[in-house]
Structure formats: structure tokens, C-alpha cells
Amino acid sequence: MPSTPSTARAIITHSPGIPSPSTLSLESIPVPVPKAGQVLLRVLGFGINRAEMYTRQGLSPGLSFPLTLGIECVGRVVGFAPNDDAITTATTKTTKTTKTKQFRHNDLVATCMGGLGRQIPGSYQEYTCVPAANLRHIHIPTPPSTNNASPLQTQRPSPPPQISTAVLAALPEMLQTTWGALASGLAVVPHESVLVRGGTSSIGLCAIQLLKKKFGASRVGATTRSADRVEMLRAAGADVVFIDGEDGKIAGQVMAGSGAAVHARDSKEGSAKQKRKEKEKEESKHEGEAEQQDLRFDKCLELIGTTTFLDSAACLKPGGTVCMVGMQGGQWELTNFSPFMIPNRVRVCAYGGSTQDFFAMPWDELVLDVIERRIVVPVREYAMEDIQKVHEIMEAGGGGAKMVVVLGEL
């Protein structure tokens, strides 16, 4: 096991509020020493999040600088507070059950939130100290061995892990947010139809797949501003794709069943549904009813924010729910807002993830889904030196894949 060096590289933000990512500076600093209850992690990879961009821009109040950003990472446990050589934590799952976890040297772990990159130095560095209470183990099943040698013969090296550092690094915050927003924010139940507003975001692409494969959604709609990204949404499993125009309005298309809704016809499920709908339409024509197909949804995961929120609410059936999760449009407040602008009987809620949500999601099951490619996670991999470029891409709109910085192999 390599020994821990005395200095390591870290990306430091010296002062917030500077619009350009040039404020992110790659420097050499002493390797931090864990306090009681913390572990020292060798960071193998970290995901890039908009929350970090907002902190860099000075929009997260009450933080002191210089600060190392980064709200999540995956890594190996390489140290404990002086006199410790392992650490046991207790997580209260319900009022009746408490689960204990033990962390030892070289354990592969994931963390997110819990003040990381805000109240304590974050994951944009080669070594970071994290409260053990905010860690989850990562279990990667050993691939079936092709080694038929007897135990007395020379062992071949074990096969490489079935998942890359980049994909693993994309998971903690993305799975926590997506699972939490669908399970507790929107409280999706089987057979509901859900619109993912901002479908090409990393969270949107994950949500489409979880809705189809884990939540039993009957129909998933998704939006993008770009016709070039329709195929990406279909590949993720969207039944219906709507192109978000410059006015941020799709409710007309949804109610008229028009626009890119045509894409549903190509999928197997979509085509059976389409035939049924066409038959119903034919019958209703005979009854003298309007020719429109109403494609309104039961629920909407709102990842774009205030610029599309009211229109998303108008895409829902009465009694439907829209959950505010993201703020892509750059506008934090609704202007000239009256509560009566919300369509009749539509409900509104918000979701903001926390450490509690990191522990509430079925992490082991979801990681296995990713390893076995039931859930596909597109990633774009960068090095620490690319950090300014990565923030520039995020500022320009991002999407299509989760951006991750990789520092080492699993």
C-alpha cells in the first residue's frame, strides 16, 4: 500500500463572486490530518455539480474562503485520527433500527453533502478528510473467475473491476438527487406518467431510466431545447420528447398531443399505445368530439426552474404535482407571480437533497444496476488541470453527460 505523501494537489477558490472560473487555482498543499470521527480519503474521482458553480460565484452565503470546492467523491480510506486504525459509525435508519458500519484502511467508499466543499474542505483535491458518518461503502462484485488453476498453482492476477472510476465518481450526488426527488419529492408510484423537464441534464437522463426501470412509470416525457438531443432522450427511455422553445412553453404541445410526441410511435410500447390512441381518436371522431390527444402528465420533475415552472404545471392533470429541483434558467425568482397562476388543483413542492437522502436511497442496489448496465450513466472524464474548462462548460449550459474528474484507478 503506497504511503501517504506530505503534500498533495488541491484546487483552491481564493475568493468567491468572480464570474470567471479563473478563480479556481491548482496548488500544492499539506495533506490534511483527520480529526476524531473523520477518515482521510485518497480521492479517486469526483463529480462536478452546479452547487459548486454557485458557491464559486458567491451565491452560497455564510462560507469562508479560501475554500476547496467539491460536494462529492469516491475514494479509498487511507487514514484515521491519531491512535485510530479503524472507525465504527452508527446510522439510525428508523426510530427502531440502528445500523453500524466499520471503515478500515483501503475500503472503497463514496460520500456527498454533509458540509463537504462548504463548511469543510471539499473533494476537489487528492486527499480530503470526511466524517465517517457521511460515508457509504462501494461493493463491486468480483467478476466470475476464468482461473481454473488449483490453489497450489500460481494465481493469475484478479480481473479488473467491471466499472470505471469515472462512472463510479458520477454516482453519489446524481443518484441521491434523482432517487430522492422521485421517491420523496414527487412520491412517484407505479403506473403514473411523469414529465422530466430538462431531460438531457445528467439528473434528467438518470431520472428517465429510474422512472422506467425502478418506479414503474407508465409514460415518461422529457424535454430538451435542442432537436439534436432527441435521440439521446429516446435512448434513455423517454416515450415522448418535447422541444422546449425560446419561450419556455410546451403545454400547448402536451395538451394537443403534438410536437415531438411523434417520437413515441417508434418505440415498441409507444407504437402499441399509439395504435390504441388512434383507434380511440377514430371512435371519438364518430362521436363528434375534438381530435386532440391530451398527453398531460401526473407529475413533473422540474429541473429547469422558474423559467419553465408555470408551463410545467400546465402540463399536468388536475391533482398532479410539480417538484422544483433545479435552477438552470439563471432566474432564481418568479416575477409578477400570483398563486392563482398555478393551474387549478395542481400541487407544487420542492426537493433539496441532504445527507439523510444519501443514506435513504438503495445505494448498493443502484450501484449494481449501473455495474450491470441496467442503468446507463454517460460521463465525460477530465483531469484536475481541466477544472476551469469544466466550469466553463457548465456555465455554458452543460448536459448530455455527468462531468467527472478522475485522479486514480479503482
Tell me how far apart the alpha carbons of residues 79 and 75 are, in angstroms, rounded to a whole number: 12
Residue 371 DSSP label: H
Q: Which residue has the cell 411523469?
A: 194
Q: Which residue has the cell 477530465?
A: 382
Contact flag: residue 398 with ligand NAP (CB under 6 A): yes
215 three-state secondary structure: coil
CB-nearer residue toward ligand NAP: 274 or 308: 308
Residue 26: closest CA among 14, 15, 12: 12
Contact flag: residue 12 with ligand NAP (CB under 6 A): no
Q: Out of 58, 329, 343, 378, point to the residue binding ligand NAP (CB under 6 A).
A: 329
Q: Out of 13, 23, 200, 274, point to the residue binding ligand NAP (CB under 6 A).
A: 200
Q: Out of 131, 198, 221, 237, point to the residue binding ligand NAP (CB under 6 A).
A: 198
Contact flag: residue 353 with ligand NAP (CB under 6 A): yes
Contact flag: residue 178 with ligand NAP (CB under 6 A): no
Tell me how far apart the alpha carbons of residues 182 and 220 are, in angstroms, rounded to a whole number: 13
Q: Out of 55, 209, 224, 253, point to the residue binding ligand NAP (CB under 6 A).
A: 224
For residues 221, 226, 232, 237, the Cα torsion angle rounded to the nearest 10 degrees is: 0
A 10 A CB-CB count for 130 gives: 27
State the nearest-atom distance from the C-beta of 399 to ligand NAP, in Å.
2
The cell for 136 is 457509504
State the nearest-atom distance from the C-beta of 366 to ligand NAP, in Å.
16
Binding segment for ligand NAP among 149-157, 324-332, 340-348, 381-389 (CB under 6 A)? 324-332
| Phi-psi map region of 241: left, alpha, beta (phi>0 left; psi -120 to 50 alpha) | beta
Q: In the complex, which residue's CB is closest to ligand NAP?
A: 399
Contact flag: residue 229 with ligand NAP (CB under 6 A): yes
Tell me how far apart the alpha carbons of residues 258 and 310 are, in angstroms, rounded to a whole number: 19
Contact flag: residue 375 with ligand NAP (CB under 6 A): no
CB-nearer residue toward ligand NAP: 141 or 397: 397
CB-nearer residue toward ligand NAP: 32 or 70: 70
Asked if 293 and 270 touch (Cβ cutoff 8 Å), the reply is no
CB-nearer residue toward ligand NAP: 238 or 304: 304
Restricted to residues 259-298, the positions that interact with ligand NAP (CB under 6 A) are none
- Type and span of the H or E element at 51: helix 50-56
Q: Classify burial at 265, counting beta carbons within 10 Å of its beta carbon; exposed 0-12, middle 13-18, buried 19 or more.
A: middle
Residue 157 DSSP label: P
Residue 24: closest CA among 133, 122, 106: 122
Contact flag: residue 351 with ligand NAP (CB under 6 A): yes
A 10 A CB-CB count for 168 gives: 27
Contact flag: residue 326 with ligand NAP (CB under 6 A): yes
Asked if 126 and 10 touch (Cβ cutoff 8 Å), the reply is yes
Binding segment for ligand NAP among 14-22, 74-82, 319-327, 341-349 (CB under 6 A)? 319-327
Restricted to residues 28-87, the positions that interact with ligand NAP (CB under 6 A) are 49-50
Which string of x and - marks every residue 235-254 that binds ligand NAP (by CB under 6 A)? ---------x----------
Q: Out of 399, 404, 405, 406, point to the residue binding ligand NAP (CB under 6 A).
A: 399
Q: Which residue has the cell 490534511?
A: 32
Tell me how far apart the alpha carbons of residues 166 and 410 are, in angstroms, rounded to a whole number: 10
State the nearest-atom distance from the C-beta of 180 to ligand NAP, in Å.
7
State the nearest-atom distance from the C-beta of 69 to ligand NAP, in Å.
14
Restricted to residues 130-149, the positions that interact with ligand NAP (CB under 6 A) are none
Which residues form the interface with ligand NAP (CB under 6 A)? Answer: 49-50, 177, 198, 200-203, 224-226, 229, 244, 303-304, 325-330, 351-353, 394, 397-400
